[in-house]
């Protein structure tokens, strides 16, 4: 049985926010909901925590319907993006507050608080109050208060979004090894796709009041069921081109609606588009599937070669991002860290055809 089960959940004000949303988080599963701002991710957590009242649907914990149960009786621990700390209490007392509410003995409280404070690298701040620490330290304090609890489920609302890059990376590693987060279901909300891919056992991409697709990180990244899902995962974002299906010389092409870029489809892709002759297709190409060839370098197998011009280049240390112009179309490409390109440089692109993503231009669904 799922540790956390959500069935047909609805919530709206002057407009719908959640529309018959279904979700199951298994015991010990780290489930991440990712999506743009305003998609309803925080509303979902607040409904599960009991801080908002659902218009319709059910929320079950270990098979028990808790839809109308008061928040303090649900046994859920939640970290808020806005911290929600007690300003008159020290960091120690803020973290210890759920343990004090459970009337644990002083030694156990000190032991648990000290351990989680060391994990979050705030053990030197335990005597300070929230007004005396930084925003990132406040967020770690709020996270610590959640981690010391012994709940039926964890709800984490962008718990590391305000931390610096080094601490975020360290906490991602800790999230993967923390035993507490893998004994009950954890529902983790973020707008950062890299967090979702790095941490999630499964991911749900939220849009239009529903989870558009759920699956493992690999499934969602390699086989997005919708163009919206493809856009939410990956940085730089996927190249999306409106194209028309054409036949020429016995070969099937996708020709860009803007510009004059032509790309050949392989047999498997052609079969998928069978019956769509002269129809429009939304083509997705991830930047890592576009390579910039060195002078006189041949295109690797299953790659198509296209002439282009560098419009902009961003060296990022571990990789580079090149924005190129090919036959009137802008295409983003990833480059090796040692690459260096200048504006207006003429180059040749090698595009890996088998990795094309084909979507219906009206519904956005994968073809």
Q: How many CB atoms lie within 10 A of CB 13?
A: 8
Q: What pLDDT was estimated at residue 2?
A: 60
CATH of domain 240-359: 2.40.50.140
Q: How many CB atoms lie within 10 A of CB 123?
A: 16
Name which of 191-195, 209-213, 351-355 the model is least confident about: 191-195
Asked if residues 29 and 35 have their Cβ atoms less than 8 Å apart, the reply is: no
More confident residue, 291 or 136: 291
C-alpha to C-alpha distance for 103 and 123, rounded to whole angstroms? 23
Is the pLDDT assigned to residue 311 strictly greater than 60?
yes
Q: How many CB atoms lie within 10 A of CB 32?
A: 25
Q: What pLDDT was estimated at residue 323?
A: 97
Q: Look-up: residue for tokens 């270990």? A: 62
Q: What pLDDT was estimated at residue 274?
A: 83
Is the pLDDT assigned to residue 1 strictly greater than 60?
no
C-alpha to C-alpha distance for 197 and 164, rounded to whole angstroms? 19
> Of 26, 138, 149, which Cα lies nearest the Cα of 78?
149
The ranges assigned to domains in the chain are 4-232, 240-359
Whole-prediction pTM: 0.88
The widest CA-to-CA distance across the chain, in whole angstroms, is 81
Is the pLDDT assigned to residue 296 strictly greater than 90?
no
More confident residue, 250 or 90: 90
Six-digit token pair at 316? Answer: 């990022």
Phi/psi-derived region of residue 317, left when phi > 0, alpha when psi is between -120 and 50, beta in every other case:
left
- CATH class, 4-232 region: alpha beta
């Amino acid at each position: 049985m799922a540790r956390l089960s959500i069935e047909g959940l609805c919530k709206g004000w002057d407009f719908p926010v959640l529309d018959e949303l279904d979700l199951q988080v298994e015991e010990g599963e780290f489930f991440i909901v990712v999506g743009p701002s305003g998609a309803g991710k925080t509303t979902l957590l607040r409904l599960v925590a009991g801080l908002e009242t659902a218009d319709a649907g059910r929320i079950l914990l270990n098979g028990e319907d808790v839809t109308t149960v008061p928040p303090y009786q649900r046994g859920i621990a939640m970290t808020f993006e806005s911290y929600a700390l007690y300003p008159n209490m020290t960091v120690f007392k803020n973290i210890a507050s759920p343990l004090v509410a459970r009337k644990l003995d002083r030694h156990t409280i000190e032991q648990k608080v000290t351990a989680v404070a060391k994990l979050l690298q705030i053990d030197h701040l335990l005597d300070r109050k929230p007004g005396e620490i930084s925003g990132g330290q406040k967020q770690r304090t709020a996270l610590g208060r959640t981690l010391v609890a012994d709940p039926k489920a964890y709800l984490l609302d962008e718990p590391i979004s305000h931390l610096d890059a080094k601490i975020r990376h360290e906490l991602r590693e800790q999230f993967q090894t923390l035993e507490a987060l893998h004994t009950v279901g954890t529902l983790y909300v973020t707008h950062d796709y890299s967090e979702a891919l790095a941490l999630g056992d499964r991911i749900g991409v939220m849009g239009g009041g529903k989870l558009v697709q759920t699956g493992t990180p690999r499934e969602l990244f390699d086989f997005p069921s919708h163009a919206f899902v493809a856009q939410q995962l990956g940085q730089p974002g996927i190249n999306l081109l409106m194209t028309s299906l054409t036949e020429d010389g016995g070969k099937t092409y996708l020709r860009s609606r803007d510009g004059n870029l032509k790309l050949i489809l392989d047999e498997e892709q052609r079969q998928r588009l069978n019956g769509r002759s002269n129809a429009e297709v939304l083509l997705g190409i991830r930047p890592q599937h576009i390579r910039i060839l060195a002078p006189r370098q041949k295109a690797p197998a299953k790659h198509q070669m296209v002439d282009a011009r560098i419009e902009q280049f961003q060296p990022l240390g571990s990789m580079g991002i090149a924005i190129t112009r090919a036959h009137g179309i802008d295409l983003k490409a990833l480059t090796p860290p040692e690459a260096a390109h200048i504006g207006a440089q003429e180059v040749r692109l090698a595009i890996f055809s088998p990795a094309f993503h084909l979507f219906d231009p009206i519904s956005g669904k994968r073809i």
